A and B are shown apart, each in its own frame.
Chain A
Amino acid sequence: MKALGKKLAGKTLLALSMAGMMAGAVHADDKVLHVYNWSDYIAPDTVAKFEKETGIKVVYDVFDSNETLEAKLLAGKSGYDIVVPSNNFLAKQIKAGVYQELDKSRLPNWKNLDEDLLKAVGDASDQGNKHAFPYMWGSIGIGYNPAKVKAALGIDKIDSWDVVFKPENIEKLKSCGVSFLDAPTEMIPAALHYLGKPTNSKDKADLKAAEDLFLKIRPSVAYFHSSKYISDLANGNICVAVGYSGDLEQSKTRAQEAGDKVKLAYSIPKEGAGTFYDMVAIPKDAENVEAAYKFMNYLLQPEVMAEITNAVRFPNGNKAATPLVDKEITSDPSIYPSADVKKQLYAISDLDAATLRLITRSWTKIKSGR
């Protein structure tokens, strides 16, 4: 009897879901929103709550590099209604005519955004903030395993780029593993900054100096990758990772969840670090602009943004959200840096094609020795 009941229930469910699918198919065009965001970059229930509130179905895809996103956008008809590029990539894509200008009258929650941040991002990559607003931002610093670093180097905490950029230091860390981001446009500026050169230098001599710096430490680098380090650091496969602040914070959380055997820390070195702003924008060829605006306005709500920051541990661009974020996060200087540290941060800027080619070529030489 019980089994029969189960069977019946199953069949009813199946029939219901099929009916639902058919009904859904009719309105598929105006009721589906395609979002393309960074991996591990949203609270677990953000999308579900939006779906419940608006009845719009969200197809949520993720990428782990700006280059992947850009290739899709530049090919045209990416199929996405909302995308989240970093500000330096956004600048180039605006020039290529990828995005539509935002109608801010449709975004009443725009007022919640941090004015200073808007201006900084606007000056760097989108004059007047016509095309996008800042979602999250973060720094590119050093995540590490204090116990292993102490064993190898004899220091309690990392507070300087010397640890990874001085060959005699990184050599000692080689056995426990050091990783760098596989992102030339973010790593070369880090080296330039360390050497005291302008971070957006086009000077061949400067770029050569940055290349030489990397070539010297290259034999001690385990790998260059932009997402693998999150789990590798958490499970002890590597002990130092140069990476994105929020990713390294997540690594910390994952290590805690995995039984707290590995303890991790993140540091914005005292010399300063690069920052990135990830921007929410609507491509020109978006099919569901109406829903895209709704999603943007939803994301601009302080409560929603605070929840995302609590989950992903990146600071957001929403000033009204700051008081709603967990105290433990806002008081952590490695996530919400102090005013002094903020002064040392630099934005990563857009590069012209020739400089980009030089940097990519350098990067290949650094990685493969050719």
Chain B
Amino acid sequence: MNMRKFKRRINRIIPNGRQLVIGVPFIWLFLFFMLPFFIVLKISFAEADVAIPPYTEIYTFAEQKLQLLLNLGNYAMLGDDELYIAAYLGSLKMAFISTVLCLLIGYPMAYAIASARKELQTVLVLLIMMPTWTAILIRVYAWMGILSNNGLLNGFLMSMGLIDEPLQILNTNLAVYIGVVYSYLPFMILPLYANLVKHDNSLLEAASDLGSSTFNSFWKITIPLSKNGIIAGCMLVFIPVVGEFVIPELLGGPETLMIGKVLWQEFFNNRDWPVASALAVVMLAILIVPIILFNRSQAKEMEGKE
């Protein structure tokens, strides 16, 4: 009797298989998202200092008194200087336009793949994914070679006699858009394809039987049905592009103002880790809305499956 009680108690403490499996992602999230985030949050309330590490500790413990000293100056500073707001807006604009471009290019591609023969689909999806097997840095460097004044594109256009002087593309926002759309296109196509390939063709056949034009069927059936795929694809592009640093740094010019670069400057040029952390925290706050949207659409997608 006692033994059984004991066992039951033990069982209550030790997680069963189901809890273990659910627990793993939570531990992962805690270790690699929550913990780093709290460290960044902590630094954002500190003050810059000439020391290792280059910021002050926000709490002191002396004579059994724990003192917490939060410096809100870093956040106040972000509001004072229009540079930071301009950088956030610059990043959001860059992300928004790139997402729209990815959708416009990616949707027809995903649609074409989804309507291809089954054997061909695998090959086409592989072709979409293959470029991502090369490191992004190398692919962006390749674009530098293509877009530069003495590059492949200008060389081709000049040899064709279409232009007399090289087009200035590298080191402009246009180059950043090209780089971003190229790099993130697979993230748009794959969720769209995953969604489109599940569509039931009999719906389109029924619509056609009832006299609906092809475009009408596409607009009123395919698009609404692929809504969740569109949201997922858009978020997978939008969220990382807001914080993008490498592509604008390599392809962008002086006028490219994005939050990643400003963050870099605070961190490296000003040696001001607290302000850099405050910038990162605010960026996360801005991204929470699209992240929630993304999660919702994912949840809906799952429900749809069941």
Contacts and interface: CB of A to CB of B under 8 A. Distances in A.
Contacts of B265: 360, 364
Interface residues of B, number: 29
Nearest to A284: B52
A97 B52 contact: yes
B257 A96 contact: no
A312 to B, nearest CB: 24
Given A70-B271, A95-B50, A96-B52, A368 B255 contact: yes
Majority SS at the chain A contact face: helix
B9 to A, nearest CB: 44
- Chain A contact residues (Cβ within 8 angstroms of B): what range? 35 or more
Interface in A177-234: 177, 184, 218, 221-224
Central interface residue in A76, A237, A368, by most chain B CB within 10 Å: A368
B54 A368 contact: no
B187 interface: no
Interface stretch (B80-88, B119-127, B284-292): B80-88
A74 to B, nearest CB: 5
Contacts of B200: none
B81 A369 contact: no
A74 B53 contact: yes
Nearest to A98: B52
Interface in B84-128: 86-87
Given A97-B51, A353-B48, A369-B255, A361 B171 contact: no
B254 interface: yes
22 contacts: A65-B268, A71-B267, A74-B51, A74-B52, A74-B53, A97-B52, A98-B52, A175-B165, A184-B269, A222-B253, A237-B148, A356-B271, A357-B270, A360-B265, A360-B270, A361-B81, A361-B83, A363-B269, A366-B254, A368-B255, A368-B257, A370-B86
Interface of A: 65, 67-68, 70-71, 73-76, 92, 95-98, 175, 177, 184, 218, 221-224, 235-237, 353, 356-357, 360-361, 363-370
The 8 tightest CB contacts between A and B, nearest first, are: A67-B268, A367-B254, A368-B257, A360-B269, A74-B54, A76-B52, A96-B50, A223-B171
Given A97-B52, A236-B150, A237-B149, 19 more contacts: A67-B268, A68-B268, A70-B268, A71-B267, A75-B52, A96-B52, A98-B52, A218-B254, A222-B253, A224-B254, A353-B48, A353-B50, A356-B269, A357-B270, A357-B272, A360-B270, A361-B81, A365-B83, A366-B254
